[in-house]
Structure 1
Amino acid sequence: MKLATFKQGSEYHLGIHMEHGLLDVGAAAAAAGVHAPLSVREAAEGGEQAVDMLRRLQAEYGGNPQFVIGEEQAALAPVIPDPGKIICIGLNYLKHAEETHSPIPKYPILFNKFNNALAAHGEDVALPRSSRKVDYEAELAIIIGRTAKYVSEDDALDYVFGYCASNDLSARDLQGRSVQWLAGKSCDGFAPVGPYVVTKDEVGDPNKLAISCTVNGEVRQQSNTSDMIFDCKQIISYISQCMTLSPGDIILTGTPEGVVLGYPKEQQVYLQPGDVVTVEIEKLGALTNRIVAESSER
């Protein structure tokens, strides 16, 4: 099942992606007179019972145009607009570590982003005026579905709700000012996620997925999640030894080779206004954002 979040006015709504549009879950649940999750977070918290209810509504109302919104008319939002945590993993693909001449980490490198960094599929992302070196990073995102603390690697994927595509946009000049990467990673709009959360039953092994990034249609990154140094179950288990993971938390799992930072300096061309960046991951769809200049009014 593919779940999306869309906005009508100032309100967020849960949608189920289908070939002909998004099923408005709230409207379908009201018509059926049943309680159903009204956000991706609620669906994650509700577990299999919540997913079963969504499948029931999809079967009963998915063919009724009264409850379906065309995706071209829906204003998509970040798949989870209010995660409790956005945790990121650095230098987690072998070839990416090699291209940046970085030592192979002995443990997952953790850093974080905040909710201000979230952006939706199709949303413009503004280049901050404080940076001249904004880079793309195609990444697989994990959406946590159960409270996780001190979980084993063997059990770790049981705590996943689903997966989506993400882009860990990075201001390299800000990032390089100190050993802490936060300044270059947490700019507004620097964590596009979407367009959908795909439930884990439709994904299978998350470490066997093709992943790519294009800029203006030119392939910049093309790899597979099998190149991760620490795979998804290792990442979840490790983070859970450090902190409690909660339903709706987002984990960005690192990027493969091909980022601008990995090019020789004379060949580095960072993102410019007008660039269109697309991250595509097998089974999860394509996440596209246009890069724009930051407004002088901000």
Structure 2
Amino acid sequence: MTRWTVEDVPDQSDRTAIVTGSNTGIGFETARMLAGRGARVTLACRDTDKAAAAVERIRAEHHAADLTVARLDLGDLDSVAAFATAYRADHDRLDLLVNNAGVMMPPLQRTRQGFELQFGTNHLGHFALTGHLLPLVSTTPAARVVTVASVAHRNGLIDFDDLNWERRRYRRWAAYGQSKLANLLFTLELQRRLSAVGSTARATSCHPGLAATELTRHSNVVAVLAGRFVGMAPPDGALPTMRAATDPQAEGGSYWGPAGRFETSGPPVRVGRTDAARDTATAQRLWAESERLTGVTATVAPAGHDQP
């Protein structure tokens, strides 16, 4: 089988893309590669100064790159709504939404609205963002929503009795696993809803394996060193995202990750997921609960329907 590389990314000219958390790591590399293939990319980041610096780094390589910086704090639903409102006012299409940003195993913290930080940022923030932008996504031909998950979803459990760790003893790894399982269940239900109305948009997911990025800064020393000395460089870690986002053969609901042992490294291929990540009943319940918690009703427009 031919090894899939960045050279396999199709031309992205005339496509618009949003990449969350794109000032560093996998998100930066995703934005850089998309821009290098001609896409108009919005770097949606909490720190706009760092995002502006990222733009300069990309333009040093791709001088004509069409890049925009916009502030987005996924830990604040008001910020999510403001970003989406501004984006929809300035754009009549969205070809690619890459839900990349995330936090990994910090001490117990809460978002502005009081959600546990990992569930609130990794899942609820991206759920709300996607919900606000679905009128653009579902009416843009062949659009995609790509959500970055993790092998940690295998240890995840959706505890509907205490999603936000208000009664249980907080366990950082378990909370991270729950948020990453939620990412895959979100993709499962989003694709079901897109298919149900005949939309040409696709929802896909991916994970970067073990990559040397800032995401592991809250992890233990072993995890940090493993990422630094054994893990892939960020450009390689971004290839599963790029394949999920651009490969014409990446159908809706597909999940992509590294081909190597334990999915820690290697070229991007289709990878497996747990039975829990395929549970349609749990996915539908999580969707309903996410709408309740965020106050965002994520409605998919029927095929052929123009956005309001």
Q: Report the TM-score when normalising by structure 1.
A: 0.29
More helix by share: 2
Between structure 1 and structure 2, the one with the greater Rg is 1
More strand by share: 1
Q: Report the TM-score when normalising by structure 2.
A: 0.29
